Chains A and B, each alone.
Chain A
Amino acid sequence: MIRDLGQQAPAIPSPAVAVGTRRRRERFEPLPGESRRLGYLYILPAFLLYAAFNLVPLAQGVNDSFFHWDGITDGTWAGLANYKEFFTEAEIRTGYVHVLILMIFYAFLPIVIGLFLAAVLSRIRIRGLTFFRLLLFLPLVITDVVTAVAWNWIYDTHGPLNAVFKAVGLGGLIPSAGWLGDFNTALPAVGVFGLWGQFGFCLILFLAGVMKIPSSLYEAARVDGANAFHEFFAVTLPGLRYELQVVLVLTVVGTLGTFDEIYVMTAGGPGTATTVPAYLVWRRMFQTGQVGSAAALGIMLMLIVFAVAYGINRLMERGAER
């Protein structure tokens, strides 16, 4: 796109090129004063911590992923066997399918609901907005383990959810094995928990974004005869593009790393109905002594997270250039 622009109007250099050349010049003309190398000394303490707790374990993880290792006896060389497993084992494939389903609840629905509510709320004045913000943000502040325990109770056979279902005459819809025990409802039940936690976060970011959109844009739209629907697509949505990008990356990456609620609510069950990649990594690492396989799963998960985050950013920016 940028190149096309350049061809059409060669006289005007694109801002990207301008920024790039300016930077390059700066690098070769050091500013007077202290040496540039001193900068490395400043980041050294942070880098040492980062290296000790991130880079070294990462290198170890890469190393271990090429071995069959139970964690306590000597490992044996496995070559790419653990990575081959990643592509062939049904259990792993199922885990990723579950994560894809969870994304509907953890990313797609919260964003849709968040956008809708942000659009509605942007048109009206709400008293006590700070209070509602606090309420919506609360699920994010409390650790997942605590809220998941509470949701276990909500889903319990004798819990409030079933009480409500029975009170309104929908008792027949309650699965006989319980919401978290039924093979068909367990995963969506975990998903609803995630939806509850995520949509407040999305809404808050979107609300903050909406407030930054100049009201003159709305006024202009209204003068042009836009209704609420037009206003949303012509003003609100484009204005929230950056928030959308942040929310999309955070929620999608967060879903890929889902662990706490699975650990607390279902332990991957019933059967394997709610296993997710991060849970498999933990189980193989600490429970069943398959450290090499767990490491390979972890590395693959990391690469997928990188690829997805990169992909989303690329996609959003390409959209922006258009």
Chain B
Amino acid sequence: MIKRREPVGGLREKVRVPRVHLALAALLTLLGGACTPQGIGGEPVTVPPPPATTGVPDSGPVTLTVWDQETGQVSKVWDRLNAEFEQHYPNVTIDRVNVDFGELKTLLKLAVSGPNAPDIVEANQGWPDMGGLVRAGLLLPLDNYAEAYGWIDRVPAAVRAVSSWTPDGREFGTGNLFGYTSLGEILGVYYNKQKLAALGLTVPTTFAAFEQALATAKSAGEVPIQFANNAAFPGIHEFVMIQDQMAAPQDLTDFIFGDRAVNPSFDTPENVQAAATLQDWAKAGYFTPGFGGTGYETSIANFAKGEGLFMITGNWIVADLGADNADFGFFPMPPMEAGDPPVSTGGAGFPLSITVGSQHPDAAAAYIDFMTNDHATSLLLRVGQLPLSTGDTSAEVEPGTLLADVVGAANAVAKANGVVPYEDWATPTFYDTLSASIQELMAERLTPQEFVAKVQDDYAEFQESRP
């Protein structure tokens, strides 16, 4: 649109929209509106037959393309495991594509639906990601592999449920298995042992005692909860940790799965109470000043440096603080009544799925088994990943370390059947709606009642549009 100096007449001419352009625009409009955008899968998927043998069949060279979103120390372990797998099966080449979480969310659907789909992908559970891929018929049901490799007995039913869908992708939490992992995640409260002792406090055993500890820390001039919400997702973690103590875990799970039989809603008295509590904490100054403008990584670094009594987040920062660190501890958010079973958001980590386009599904299944066997989980445990096949791994952990606390908390929650899935799996837009609304709630731009109503709007809209 850069215009040169021209005589007045020339300028006038330029302004006129040439007829050709108008005609072209009309043509485009006619062309449009003619064809329905097509899905890529089309055919309903069938469960592949059980493999003749476990392991990779030795029938010529096999290249397995794997898309994952692992970072840091965990990513290095993946490299090592990939090399070991190639060594074990000389005819196999692993082509690893490592992308970050946000990028994976953006690119995965495009990659899996394209002509050169990867064989194995880490697809986030829930309606936004795995749900769409299943509905499009782009992932293979793994039931027969699970049978052949004994995955079913290795992990709790709740872990399989969050990767289970009916083959048409209409119901979540039931049906066929579309992804598998033996590694888990847990949200909880990290604490600075020195500060807790200096304040004359012990690890709280009730929610009320936890709130009392916050007040004590605040009046002593400490930052009660290290927190940064520039990235918006940490706010979800603060909220669900409160919510988990106030609402029944089964109700929360039904809500996330969208179980039509119980017609769940976000607009419940328990959620209003949880929202009010979070808002009260923000009002009371229990969170790091300036939390809205600070990045998540910065908050981890600040907590490690000794700023803040508590930090509410997931097991994945263990490696940042140091698995063998004895200065920090970890506990599940304490229940309302002392002695009640612990409840916490978490559960399965990123599951591995096989795409419909894979030429070597049997080899891909062998790879998934290899990445989730005892050898893999023991290597990954040392970098802070929690094995879900509980019992046999606690012995490998040095007692008194941060990692021991995290493993202990995860086991306690799993044994009490208190694992609640991530709330942002509830609808394709839930992550955005919930994280933005929590920011508004904490800035007192929404009342707790307005907050639940706004989030419920998103939920209701999705439930109506569900096939």
Contact = CB atoms under 8 A, between A and B. Distances in A.
Given A287-B105, A289-B128, A317-B15, A19 B290 contact: no
Contact of B9 (A18, A59, A270, A291): A18
B135 interface: yes
A9 to B, nearest CB: 16
Contacts of A114: none
B15 A270 contact: no
Contacts, number: 184
Contacts of A309: 1
Given A181-B229, A268-B436, A156 B33 contact: no
Contacts of B428: 70, 288-290
B33 A182 contact: no
Interface in B7-40: 7-13, 15, 17, 24, 28-29, 31-40
A75 B136 CA distance: 11
B144 interface: no
A237 interface: no
Interface stretch (A29-37, A128-136, A140-148, A172-180): A172-180
A92 interface: no
A80 to B, nearest CB: 10
In the complex, the 4 A-B pairs of residues with the closest C-beta atoms, listed nearest first = A178-B293, A181-B292, A177-B292, A181-B293
Max chain B CB contacts within 10 Å: which of A177, A242, A321? A177
Interface residues of B, number: 62
B337 interface: no
24 contacts: A15-B7, A59-B32, A60-B32, A63-B35, A67-B37, A68-B465, A69-B37, A70-B132, A74-B38, A75-B39, A177-B290, A181-B290, A181-B294, A183-B445, A269-B230, A269-B232, A270-B232, A270-B436, A287-B128, A288-B429, A288-B432, A290-B428, A292-B37, A317-B11
Given A19-B9, A155-B293, A272-B440, 16 more contacts: A15-B8, A62-B29, A70-B132, A74-B38, A74-B39, A174-B290, A175-B290, A177-B290, A177-B291, A246-B3, A267-B232, A270-B292, A271-B445, A289-B428, A290-B429, A317-B11
A251 to B, nearest CB: 12
Nearest to A309: B1
B408 to A, nearest CB: 34
B444 to A, nearest CB: 10
B9 A14 contact: yes
Interface in B212-229: 229
B350 to A, nearest CB: 18
Contacts of A157: 289-290, 293-294
Interface string A33-65: 000000000000000000000010011111111
Contact of A55 (B28, B106, B135): B28
Nearest to A75: B37
